Structure 1
Amino acid sequence: MSSVLETGARTAGVLSDGREILYFDDEPGHDRTASDTRDLAPFTPGAELRRDPLTGQPVLIAAHRQTRTVSSAGGDCPLCPSRPGHPTEVPAADYHVAVFENRFPSLGGAVGGRCEVVSFSADHDRSVSGLPADRLTTIGRAWADRTAALSALPGVEQVFVFENRGAEVGATLSHPHGQIYAYPYLPPVQAAVLASARAHRAEHGGCLLCSVVAAEAAGPRVVAATDDFVAYVPEAARWPYEVHLAPLACVPDLAALPGELLPRLMALYGDVLRRFDGLFGDPTAYMACWHQAPVLHRADLSHFYVQMFTTRRAAGKWKFLASSESSAGAFINDVSPEAAAALFRAAGDRS
């Protein structure tokens, strides 16, 4: 059974300020050795970690991010390939997938951890759902590679892969890209899931997510499925249109996924993203978040899943986090999960 880390092309380089950049190609044979011609000051992450004394939850203070790049046009996009007279974050004149340390990170330095940017295509106007199967697999391979590498860093407790698409959900660049945060602590959601997993194991034995996935795979909220993976609207979805995608087997993270399963996972992932666009007949802003097993607690929580959701609740209407959600942490969903699942299934028929 092969690992996802054993196949494909990978080239490493260094940007002019000392940050690492990695190229992942669909196949070997591409020259990605171009140098960064910019004269950047040495890279010095400057975030600060504080803790709310009332909730006990960590808060990252990263004031330097106020100066991060905001761009929607291809002409000044920092994620497009470099061209004469316009060097960017990606020195190569072309690429398939590029991964590099974030120039404006929320982690690193005295805080610890690391933030990376993952650019999914050299084409400024592409979307992940519209990429070919080979490219989706390359993206998955890059995520798996970085999951393994970042999990091995001293002090890292959680590797969180995510994509924000659309200005409506806070994406500051329209180029197709995502990020990876290697947290030096367990974020609140992961900490809560871990506590639930431990309670389930103590009371019932076995994996909490295995039980959830088995129940959902046999229920009315399935959106799409293969022999190895299932996508479903969770029973207690927080967002009007939210889908979880998980392996049927107990796999802790992308780095541990058998290599032959990665293309199947990424194909289903692309299928679900296309269903989001099919909901309202146009490109839908969404967040896609990969919840992987905590680095130090795999014995208690060893089953990854993907959470995909949009902040839309209907065509032309948005779900805002008002006082109940933002302050009390009490979510109110405007759409029944069963109705949402039916609409996702229908959206697949239209796509």
Structure 2
Amino acid sequence: MISTARHLADGREILYFDSEPTARDAVDTRDLPPVSTRSQVRWDALLGEWVVMAAHRQTRTFLPTTDQCPLCPSSPGRATEVPEAEYQVVVFENRFPSLATGVELDVPATAPGAPLTAVRPGLGRCEVVCFTSDHHRSFADLGPERARLVLDAWAHRTEALSALAGVECVFVFENHGEEIGVTLSHPHGQVYGYPFLTPRLEKVLDRVRRHAADGGDLFAEVLAAEQAGPRVVTANEHWTAFVPAAARWPYELQLFPHRRVPDIAALTDAERDAFVEVYLDVLGRFAHRFEEPMNYIASWNQAPVHQGRDEWWLHLQLFSFRRAPGKLKYLAGSESGMGTFINDTDPEDVARQLRAVQLP
């Protein structure tokens, strides 16, 4: 993998990732104003969680037509976020970031009239990862070589964002499908560098430590049990993909490497190749389970930057809101109000369905 760093007209960094040496000298000719970010993070005293406030994102691009897609390569007469006329994989700083390194640092200690609601600057970084210059492709049909290049780019950005001052965890993810909430249909994902541990990481790490205090290894035991159970969908020498026994989503998979590693960057070449094999397999099953490809969220669970790295076990969650043809799982009263999921499918049956999908 070869990475080439350049800058856009407003000073944001853009990085091209290529499988072989490629000149990347195109210049962003747009007249762009500087990025203005007013993000804050505020402490929810009742839940003990940080909430990101990013009101400036209300003006971000929303569902443009294909001919106005800002993630497609630039062409004569139409400059986009990517100055080059073509690319393999490209990463750039989000123009409408929830968190940023250039955010206003002088913020009040607490929210107005709320002395228990601590306020901090929305310090961090948000990046966009474009998987291909082809607007009409999806990750499922990238092919092994391009998917591996994307994985290497994810590893590169995980290391880079982990090194930023103030970043506590790095989240790599893809939202796929308009029903998920995607506002740009071009095949892409994102990388967030948070200035705090997310609630999921904190909760899982706490459970791992409680289990260790009783002499157990929670991650290892969960993986071993699932590998021997009825919910495995596919596996190879280095990875197992299974429907979790307590799945929250109608269609949900977790992909675990067989070796404990903290993050994507720690995977060996053999483990990266093996991941691509398993991941493209399960994405194909999601794409062909129903007549229409399923919407999904792919969510990497990586170790915190500064704590618990030896205790963590990298894994990927892949889940869809689709519960049946023409039917979505909505987060209604129980899920949104109380945080208690009610699943409309049976994990063992979902695993059987996905194993039975005939891949083209």
Which TM class, normalised by the smaller chain length? over 0.9
What is the CA-CA distance between 1:41 and the residue it aligns to?
A: 1.2
The aligned runs of 1:249-260 (5 Å cut-off) are: 249-260=259-270
Which of the residues 10, 18, 24 maps onto 1:17? 10
Partner of 2:150: 139
User: Highest relative contact order (Cα 8 Å, sep 6+), 1 or 2?
Assistant: 1
Letter of the 1:298 counterpart: G
Determine if the alignment matches structure 1 residue 44 to structure 2 residue 36.
yes
1:66-116 Cα distance to aligned partner (Å, 9 max, x none) = 111113532100000001111010011100000000100111213211000
Which consecutive residues of structure 1, in runs of 5 or more, have no partner in the other structure?
Answer: 1-7
Partner of 1:3: none
Q: C-alpha separation between the residues in 2 aligned to 1:221 and 1:160?
A: 26
Partner of 1:79: 71
Which of the residues 211, 223, 226 maps onto 1:213? 223
Q: Helix, strand or coil for the counterpart of 1:242?
A: strand
Equivalent residue pairs, number: 341
What percentage of aligned pairs have identical amino acids? 53
Which of the residues 305, 318, 325 maps onto 1:308? 318
Note closer, same or farther for the CA distance 1:131–1:299 as it changes in structure 2 (3 Å cut): closer
Partner of 2:107: none
Q: Helix, strand or coil for the counterpart of 1:189?
A: helix
Partner of 1:174: 185
Q: Helix, strand or coil for the counterpart of 2:192?
A: strand
Deviates more, 1:297-306 or 1:262-271: 297-306
Partner of 2:132: 121
Alignment RMSD:
1.2
Q: C-alpha separation between the residues in 2 aligned to 1:12 and 1:298?
A: 32
Contact 1:221 1:338 in 2 (8 A): yes
Q: C-alpha separation between the residues in 2 aligned to 1:33 and 1:261?
A: 33
TM-score, normalised relative to structure 2: 0.92
What is the CA-CA distance between 1:259 and the residue it aligns to?
A: 2.0
1:239-263 Cα distance to aligned partner (Å, 9 max, x none) = 0110000101101111111123212
Which of the residues 117, 130, 153 maps onto 2:141? 130
Deviates more, 1:158-167 or 1:106-115: 106-115
Q: C-alpha separation between the residues in 2 aligned to 1:41 and 1:260?
A: 44
Q: C-alpha separation between the residues in 2 aligned to 1:97 and 1:46?
A: 29
Contact 1:100 1:116 in 2 (8 A): yes
What is the CA-CA distance between 1:297 and the residue it aligns to?
A: 1.8
What is the CA-CA distance between 1:43 and the residue it aligns to?
A: 2.3
Partner of 1:29: 21
Partner of 2:258: 248
Q: Helix, strand or coil for the counterpart of 2:82?
A: coil
What is the CA-CA distance between 1:53 and the residue it aligns to?
A: 2.1
